[in-house]
């Protein structure tokens, strides 16, 4: 029987250069999508999949991430004193959402290095890696699907989204073979980093969810700096594929890259549309907006 997946690692130590200037002083994982910071959606996704031990890899200047998942007794008492009991409960629940530990990556040496820092905390058990700015909609059920695949195969599983051929050159791309009787699972043969569209082995792009057996730590420890001078997680996965079955979990929709400006705006609009308190008003506004003439600039 496979060991249970109890722990998640959320790397959130990058500089967020695609989201400057705000990321000069605000962690991109703390940018609000509607009224929650992006990383809260990720932690809630982990908890919804049954994971309650979460290690966040943070960095200098990003202490607000740790504050957000800590209790804030003063605020709770203040809200209670004002009779704002629902708000007080919400603030308290956030501090008790999961068992969150935060450590710092002193130098941004790459995603592989950030994950490698989790070795002592994770120990010898399977774990998931969830990128702190990559949001997965609940309806996609990605993490749960990956955990089920791991339980069935007792092997590492990497998430891949089907993207348009023209977009694949922006991602890590899977070289994979289908498995009889499986609609979502493929057997990973290799990973190609950012291939030109005409040479891409598939349209499956690596997304920010990974489930690893603990052997990945040995591979990360052996990984030398690669693309961009960083210790790349994809290089460690490629090494793992050399001696262990690794599977790809494929899905086609429901992901937002909150570290990218356009996707961030899309996430804000789509998630607000789903809310009972904001959806109706926003729908009216959008209907009115699309009726306007953008060409003349008269909006
Ligand atoms: P990105 O490639 O998105 O880098 O990292 P970034 O710095 O966060 O953002 P851009 O591309 O410059 O805008 C992928 C994930 O790996 C984490 C990031 O926080 C992000 O979740 N990461 C990356 C680390 O934790 N440490 C690193 O050294 C590098």
Q: Report pLDDT digits (tens) over 11-68.
A: 999 999 999 999 999 999 999 999 999 999 999 999 999 998 999 999 999 999 999 9
Rg (CA), the chain: 20
Region of residue 50 (left: phi > 0; alpha: psi -120 to 50; beta: else)? left
Question: Rounded to 5 degrees, what are φ and ψ at 140?
Answer: -75, -25
Tell me, in angstroms, the distance from the centre of ligand 1 to residue 209's CA. Answer: 14
- Report helix, strand or coil for 11: strand
For residue 179 and ligand 1, the question of a CB distance below 6 A is answered with: no
**CATH number among 3.40.50.300, 3.90.226.10, 3.90.1150.10, 3.90.550.10, domain 7-259:** 3.90.550.10
Best of 14, 170, 210, 260 for a ligand 1 pocket test (most atoms within 8 Å of beta carbon): 14
pLDDT band, residue 292 (cuts 50/70/90): confident
Give the predicted TM-score (pTM) of the model: 0.95
**Cα dihedral 82, 281, 43, 258 sign:** negative
| Ligand 1 atom with the shortest distance to the CA of 133 | 21
For residue 109 and ligand 1, the question of a CB distance below 6 A is answered with: yes
For residue 132 and ligand 1, the question of a CB distance below 6 A is answered with: yes
| Ligand 1 atom with the shortest distance to the CA of 131 | 21
- Which two three-digit tokens encode residue 2? 């496979």
Domain span(s) for CATH 3.90.550.10 in the chain: 7-259
Tell me, in angstroms, the distance from the centre of ligand 1 to residue 77's CA. Answer: 36
Tell me, in angstroms, the distance from the centre of ligand 1 to residue 18's CA. Answer: 10
For residue 104 and ligand 1, the question of a CB distance below 6 A is answered with: no
Tell me, in angstroms, the distance from the centre of ligand 1 to residue 90's CA. Answer: 29
| Ligand 1 atom with the shortest distance to the CA of 10 | 21
Furthest C-alpha separation in the chain: 64
Tell me, in angstroms, the distance from the centre of ligand 1 to residue 16's CA. Answer: 6
Helices 142-153 and 38-48, packing angle to 10 deg: 40
pLDDT at residue number 193: 83
DSSP string spanning 134-165? Answer: EEE-GGG-HHHHHHHHHHHH-SEEEEEEE--G
Average pLDDT over residues 78-92: 97
List the residue whose alpha carbon is closest to atom 27 of ligand 1. 110
Tell me, in angstroms, the distance from the centre of ligand 1 to residue 15's CA. Answer: 6
pLDDT at residue number 290: 86
Q: What angle do CA 60, 65, 70 make, to 5 degrees?
A: 125
- Report helix, strand or coil for 47: helix
What's the CA gap between 287 and 76, in Å, rounded? 39
pLDDT band, residue 296 (cuts 50/70/90): low
For residue 11 and ligand 1, the question of a CB distance below 6 A is answered with: yes
**Cα dihedral 204, 206, 209, 212 sign:** positive
pLDDT at residue number 224: 95
């Amino acid at each position: 029987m496979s060991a249970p997946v109890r722990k998640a690692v959320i790397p959130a130590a990058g500089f967020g250069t695609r989201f400057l200037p705000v990321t000069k002083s605000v962690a991109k994982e703390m940018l609000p999508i509607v009224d929650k910071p992006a990383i809260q959606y990720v932690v809630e996704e982990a908890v919804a999949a049954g994971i309650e031990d979460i290690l966040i890899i943070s960095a200098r200047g990003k202490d607000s991430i740790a504050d957000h998942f800590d209790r804030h007794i003063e605020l709770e008492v203040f809200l209670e004193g004002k009779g704002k009991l629902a708000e007080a409960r919400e603030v308290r629940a956030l501090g008790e959402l999961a068992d969150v530990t935060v450590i710092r990556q002193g130098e941004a040496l790459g995603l592989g290095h950030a994950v490698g820092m989790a070795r002592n905390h994770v120990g010898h058990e399977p774990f998931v890696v969830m990128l702190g700015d990559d949001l997965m909609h609940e309806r996609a059920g990605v993490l749960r699907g990956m955990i089920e695949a791991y339980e069935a195969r007792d092997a590492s599983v990497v998430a891949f989204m089907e993207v348009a051929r023209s977009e694949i050159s922006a991602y890590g791309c899977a070289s994979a073979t289908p498995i009889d009787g499986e609609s979502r699972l493929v057997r990973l043969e290799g990973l190609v980093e950012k291939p030109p569209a005409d040479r891409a082995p598939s349209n499956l792009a690596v997304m920010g969810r990974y489930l690893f057996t603990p052997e990945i730590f040995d591979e990360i420890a052996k990984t030398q700096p690669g693309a961009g001078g960083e210790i790349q997680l994809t290089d460690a996965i490629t090494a793992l594929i050399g001696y262990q079955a690794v599977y790809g979990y494929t899905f086609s929709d429901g992901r937002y890259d909150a570290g990218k400006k356009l996707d961030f705006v899309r996430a804000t609009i789509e998630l607000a549309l789903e809310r009972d308190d904001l959806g109706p008003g926003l729908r009216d506004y959008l209907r009115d907006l699309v009726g306007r003439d953008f060409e003349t600039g008269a909006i």
